[in-house]
């Protein structure tokens, strides 16, 4: 079979143009790699440029006031919740100031006082005031500044290209740790044109696995592409650790901050909007003190946004659980700002809620409605939904318990190179550097730091051209024939990619997300594995050349789902219990509490193509490196290039 394609060669290819990929491209140029190219679904696609929150946070070393901070202190914060390597934590801390100031110098206007201090605030899991923000759209403004720089540098950018295959070959300089190397990718565009990209290095910046979940606050259309690397046997870490929380679904947005602090009425309805009821009552009861408790927990959701298993039994995460359970019973859940929860009485609220609301100028709470409180405390919050054609004065806001972020992902070295595939650099959310919990804002920091690290290593270790182009091209062409053959078969498949994806996402949200029960997990894994096998054999139907890439996307999404479920099932069977943003249920429905002995471990997951199986094992966390940092010694080692 002869398949026509375009061939493009570049020294270093950046796949994905979120905040992480864009920064990598800019830094590669700054390091002296001239031949850099970005290939992406679109400069306006992905999470970074399309998302935000009440006050979207960027985490970095504290740069203000007289509170002492240091890279080691910050690394300790990263490691404190468990499941994070100390060396990665130290790098993310040490490089954070540099990466942050890079953004500032590109024009991202993080606020300072009159003396140039970057004022900070405390975010979740943060003992200091390391967090900063430029408002709801921090990551979007980061992207815009980076895109301006990419354009100034004339870095070629191919948009509307969908990577459908990552290409690897045996590593000619094979080490036991890195038996393979990356050599390129294959993309498909919406006209059905194939392109083979061959490159010395691949910066893989494809974002988090948004496409795995039905209830998701990842931007619509952002699916991620971690499955491409997993299929090539890239090792992964902590796939089990993600962040979930309450978000609106019509316009995907976290309902954190004032959206909850004004204590809206929470209502569920049938699918068609009938039979409304305040379902939280079933769990709390109707007497005044229980209603007060419920309303106080709702208030707390404002600044305890991510679901936290430690706050399930008595804390604010119980609200997330109840919302999740209600939607799983095929009911829709809404926040109603037009009226107070039935029986709402300010006197029954917790002292914390009362004090906060009083300080915010909310007197005589009983005489106001949630929308009136929101209008007073944060009118921009109402305006934000109005801009997306949701009028909180007139309609209820539909919400769900949503996937938001994957702390885990591909396993990288402290230079953000894949630990087992040479020349492959997972940066951004697809890199699984984080552990069980992370301080708010550290995802954006990690993306920038990873980009700096990858660019620096590429310049110092991989600037030469070592690729056997003829061999790589042969491998690519063979793959292309397989892809084309698969697409021909898929055309006549009985199931359509849309339906299959819907099923997959529903299953993942129901059984493979934050709420984990052994029996349903096994079912989910079995069904997903069967789906993947069927998908490989029969394909999934698509409508034409314009959506052929979506059928191929189902392949890597289903593979990723299978791998994630496999990891989650292994972790649950290991007895890790409930931790971070996940809860494990025993067969009798009781919550299994955390087994703290797993805190110093990381779950490693990898596909083996020879046996067609996925294996998992626990690895001990490496400690935070210690060094006397004697300047002369550090300088010599640096000059001699031994740090790379
Ligand atoms: C609602 C919400 C709020 C958040 N708030 C915060 C916060 O306050 N602080 C914080 O630190 N983090 C936050 N996060 C997380 C953070 O925004 C993301 O982790 C981060 O933006 C990811 O950046 P990235 O560059 O890795 O990926 P993305 O920005 O998702 O970019 C991925 C890129 O890869 C491209 N791509 C993907 N697949 C393919 C393919 N097959 N072929 C070609 N291109 C492809 C995409 O089009 C895109 O260009 C939040 C996330 C959400 C969803």
- Is the distance from the beta carbon of residue 305 to the nearest atom of ligand 1 less than 6 Å? no
Q: 22 alpha carbon to ligand 1 midpoint, in Å?
A: 11
Residues 6+ positions from 237 with CB-CB distance below 8 Å: 408, 409, 410, 411, 432, 433, 602, 603, 604, 605, 619
- Is the distance from the beta carbon of residue 224 to the nearest atom of ligand 1 less than 6 Å? yes
In order, the DSSP letters of 449-507 are HHHHHHHHHHHHHS-S----HHHHHHHHHHHHHHHHHHHHHHHT-SSBHHHHHHHHHHH
Nearest to 52 by CA among 424, 281, 455, 381: 381
Domain identity same for 396 and 253: yes
Domain identity same for 258 and 391: yes
Domain identity same for 397 and 271: yes
- Is the distance from the beta carbon of residue 157 to the nearest atom of ligand 1 less than 6 Å? no
- As a whole number of Å, the end-to-end CA separation of the chain is 44
Domain identity same for 357 and 502: no
Domain identity same for 389 and 499: no
Q: What number does the ligand 1 atom closest to the CA of 228 have?
A: 41
Cβ proximity of 575 and 516 under 8 Å: no
Q: Is 104 strand, coil or helix?
A: helix
Does 499 map to a domain? yes
In order, the DSSP letters of 181-235 are EEEEEEEE-TT--EEEEEEEEEEE-----GGG-SSB-SPTT----HHHHHHTT--
- Is the distance from the beta carbon of residue 450 to the nearest atom of ligand 1 less than 6 Å? no
Q: Which of 16, 227, 257 to mutate to test the pocket of ligand 1 (most atoms within 8 A of CB)?
A: 16
Dihedral sign (CA 48, 49, 54, 56): positive
Residues 6+ positions from 107 with CB-CB distance below 8 Å: 145, 148
Domain identity same for 249 and 396: yes
Q: 268 alpha carbon to ligand 1 midpoint, in Å?
A: 31
Last residue in a domain, options 597, 615, 631: 597
Nearest CA to ligand 1 atom 11: 441
Q: In Å, what is the CA distance from 160 to each residue of 43, 167, 266?
A: 9, 19, 41
Does 297 map to a domain? yes
Cβ proximity of 100 and 110 under 8 Å: yes
pLDDT at 346: 92
Domain identity same for 260 and 389: yes
Does 149 map to a domain? no
Interhelix angle 96-105/19-31, rounded to 10 degrees, is: 90
If you average pLDDT over residues 369-374, what whole number do you get?
96
- Is the distance from the beta carbon of residue 208 to the nearest atom of ligand 1 less than 6 Å? yes
pLDDT at 623: 98
Domain identity same for 390 and 289: yes
Q: What is the pTM of this model?
A: 0.96
- Is the distance from the beta carbon of residue 10 to the nearest atom of ligand 1 less than 6 Å? no
Convert the pLDDT of each residue in 141-168 to its tens digit.
Answer: 999 999 999 999 999 999 999 999 999 9
pLDDT at 518: 86
Q: 204 alpha carbon to ligand 1 midpoint, in Å?
A: 12
Residues 6+ positions from 43 with CB-CB distance below 8 Å: 17, 49, 143, 147, 157, 159
d(CA 557, CA 10): 27
Does 385 map to a domain? yes
pLDDT at 29: 98
Q: Which of 20, 38, 48 to mutate to test the pocket of ligand 1 (most atoms within 8 A of CB)?
A: 48
Dihedral sign (CA 355, 119, 126, 429): positive
pLDDT at 21: 98
Q: 533 alpha carbon to ligand 1 midpoint, in Å?
A: 29
Q: What number does the ligand 1 atom closest to the CA of 427 have?
A: 26
Does 561 map to a domain? yes
In order, the DSSP letters of 352-395 are HHHHHHHHTT--SGGGS-HHHHHHHH-HHHHHHHHTTT--TTTS
Convert the pLDDT of each residue in 546-589 to its tens digit.
Answer: 999 999 999 999 999 999 999 999 999 999 999 999 999 999 99
Burial classification of residue 613, based on how many CB atoms lie within 10 Å of its CB (0-12 exposed, 13-18 middle, 19 or more buried): exposed
If you average pLDDT over residues 473-497, what whole number do you get?
96
Cβ proximity of 205 and 198 under 8 Å: no
pLDDT at 541: 97
Q: Which two tokens stand for residue 457?
A: 């290593």
- Is the distance from the beta carbon of residue 280 to the nearest atom of ligand 1 less than 6 Å? no
Q: What number does the ligand 1 atom closest to the CA of 431 have?
A: 26
Q: 80 alpha carbon to ligand 1 midpoint, in Å?
A: 25
Q: Which two tokens stand for residue 427?
A: 């940066």
- Is the distance from the beta carbon of residue 163 to the nearest atom of ligand 1 less than 6 Å? yes
Domain identity same for 257 and 362: yes
Residue 344 has pLDDT above 80, yes or no: yes
Last residue in a domain, options 362, 385, 402: 402
Q: What number does the ligand 1 atom closest to the CA of 218 have?
A: 53
- Is the distance from the beta carbon of residue 197 to the nearest atom of ligand 1 less than 6 Å? no
Domains contained in the chain, number: 2
What average pLDDT does the structure give for the chain?
95
pLDDT at 1: 80
CATH code assigned at 283: 3.90.700
Does 533 map to a domain? yes
With residue 531 as reference, give the H or E element that holds it.
Answer: helix 518-538
Q: Which of 47, 144, 213, 227 to mutate to test the pocket of ligand 1 (most atoms within 8 A of CB)?
A: 47
d(CA 303, CA 295): 14
If you average pLDDT over residues 382-402, what whole number do you get?
96
Convert the pLDDT of each residue in 446-458 to its tens digit.
Answer: 999 999 999 999 9
pLDDT at 361: 86
Convert the pLDDT of each residue in 60-109 to its tens digit.
Answer: 999 999 989 999 999 999 999 899 999 999 999 999 999 999 999 999 99
> Whole domain around residue 321: which residue ranges?
244-402
pLDDT at 296: 96
Does 148 map to a domain? no
Domain identity same for 500 and 396: no
Cβ proximity of 560 and 213 under 8 Å: no
pLDDT at 501: 98
d(CA 355, CA 431): 41
Nearest CA to ligand 1 atom 46: 46
Last residue in a domain, options 402, 432, 462: 402
CATH code assigned at 548: 1.20.58.100
- Is the distance from the beta carbon of residue 605 to the nearest atom of ligand 1 less than 6 Å? no
Q: Is 524 strand, coil or helix?
A: helix
Domain identity same for 253 and 364: yes
- Is the distance from the beta carbon of residue 560 to the nearest atom of ligand 1 less than 6 Å? no
Band of pLDDT at residue 122, cut at 50, 70 and 90: confident
Residue 128 has pLDDT above 90, yes or no: no
Q: Which two tokens stand for residue 231?
A: 């299929």
Domain identity same for 253 and 381: yes
How many residues are recorded in the chain? 644
Q: 428 alpha carbon to ligand 1 midpoint, in Å?
A: 7
Dihedral sign (CA 522, 528, 529, 534): positive
Does 447 map to a domain? no
pLDDT at 2: 86
Interhelix angle 469-491/518-538, rounded to 10 degrees, is: 100
Q: 46 alpha carbon to ligand 1 midpoint, in Å?
A: 5
Q: Is 94 strand, coil or helix?
A: helix
Nearest to 232 by CA among 190, 172, 176, 186: 186
pLDDT at 121: 87
Residues 6+ positions from 526 with CB-CB distance below 8 Å: none
Q: Is 547 strand, coil or helix?
A: helix
d(CA 468, CA 425): 19
């Amino acid at each position: 079979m002869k398949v026509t394609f375009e061939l493009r060669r570049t020294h270093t290819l950046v796949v994905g143009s979120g905040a992480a990929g864009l920064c990598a491209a800019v830094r590669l140029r700054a390091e002296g790699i001239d031949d850099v190219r970005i290939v992406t679904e679109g400069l306006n696609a992905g999470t970074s440029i399309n998302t935000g929150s009440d006050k979207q946070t960027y985490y970095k070393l504290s740069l203000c006031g007289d509170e002492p901070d240091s890279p080691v202190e910050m690394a300790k914060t990263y490691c404190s919740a468990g499941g994070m390597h100390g060396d990665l934590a130290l790098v993310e801390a040490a490089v954070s100031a540099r990466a942050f100031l890079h953004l500032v110098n590109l024009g991202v206007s993080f606020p300072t006082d009159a003396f140039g201090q970057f004022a900070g605030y405390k975010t979740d899991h943060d003992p200091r005031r390391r967090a900063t923000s430029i408002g709801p759209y921090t990551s979007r403004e980061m992207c815009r500044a980076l895109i301006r720089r990419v354009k100034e540098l004339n870095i070629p950018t191919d948009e509307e290209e969908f990577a459908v295959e990552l290409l690897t070959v045996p590593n000619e300089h094979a080490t036991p740790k890195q038996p393979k190397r990356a050599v390129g990718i294959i993309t498909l565009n919406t006209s059905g044109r194939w392109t083979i990209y061959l490159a010395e290095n691949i910066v893989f910046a494809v974002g988090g696995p948004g496409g795995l979940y039905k209830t998701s606050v990842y931007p619509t259309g952002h699916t991620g592409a971690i499955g491409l690397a997993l299929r090539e046997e890239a090792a992964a870490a902590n796939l089990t650790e993600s962040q979930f929380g309450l978000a609106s679904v019509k316009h995907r947005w976290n309902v954190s901050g004032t959206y909850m602090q004004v204590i809206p009425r929470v209502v569920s309805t049938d699918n068609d909007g009938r039979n409304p009821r305040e379902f939280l009552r079933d769990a709390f009861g109707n007497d005044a003190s229980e209603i007060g408790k419920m309303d106080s927990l709702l208030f707390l959701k404002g600044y305890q946004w991510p679901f936290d298993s430690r706050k399930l039994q008595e804390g604010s995460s119980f609200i997330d659980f109840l919302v999740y359970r209600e939607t799983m019973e095929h009911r829709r859940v809404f926040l109603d700002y037009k009226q107070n929860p039935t029986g709402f009485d300010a006197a029954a609220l917790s002292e914390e809620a009362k004090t906060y609301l009083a300080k915010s100028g909310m007197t005589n709470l009983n005489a106001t409605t949630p929308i009136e409180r929101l209008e007073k405390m944060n009118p921009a919050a109402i305006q934000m939904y109005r801009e997306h054609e949701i009028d909180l004065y007139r309609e209820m806001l539909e919400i769900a318990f949503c996937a938001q972020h994957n702390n885990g992902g591909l396993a990288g070295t402290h230079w953000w190179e894949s630990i087992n595939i040479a020349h492959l650099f997972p940066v951004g959310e697809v890199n699984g550097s984080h552990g069980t919990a992370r301080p708010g804002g550290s995802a954006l920091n990690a993306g920038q730091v990873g980009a700096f690290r990858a660019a620096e290593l590429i310049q110092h270790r991989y600037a030469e051209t070592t690729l056997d182009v003829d061999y790589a091209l042969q491998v690519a062409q063979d793959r292309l024939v397989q892809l084309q053959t698969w697409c021909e078969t898929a055309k006549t498949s009985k199931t359509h990619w849309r339906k299959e994806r819907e099923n997959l996402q529903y299953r993942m949200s129901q059984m493979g997300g934050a709420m984990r029960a052994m029996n349903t997990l096994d079912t989910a894994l079995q069904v997903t594995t069967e789906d993947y096998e069927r998908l490989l054999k029969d394909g999934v139907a698509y409508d034409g050349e314009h959506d052929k890439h979506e059928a191929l996307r189902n392949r890597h999404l289903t593979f990723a789902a299978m791998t994630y479920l496999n990891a989650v099932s292994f972790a649950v069977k290991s007895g890790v219990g409930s931790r971070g943003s996940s809860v494990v249920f025993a067969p009798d429905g009781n919550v299994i509490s955390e087994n703290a002995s797993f805190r110093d471990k990381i779950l490693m997951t990898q596909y083996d193509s020879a046996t067609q199986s996925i294996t998992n094992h626990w690895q001990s966390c490496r400690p935070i490196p210690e060094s006397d940092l004697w300047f002369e010694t550090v300088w010599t080692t640096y000059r001699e290039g031994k740090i790379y």
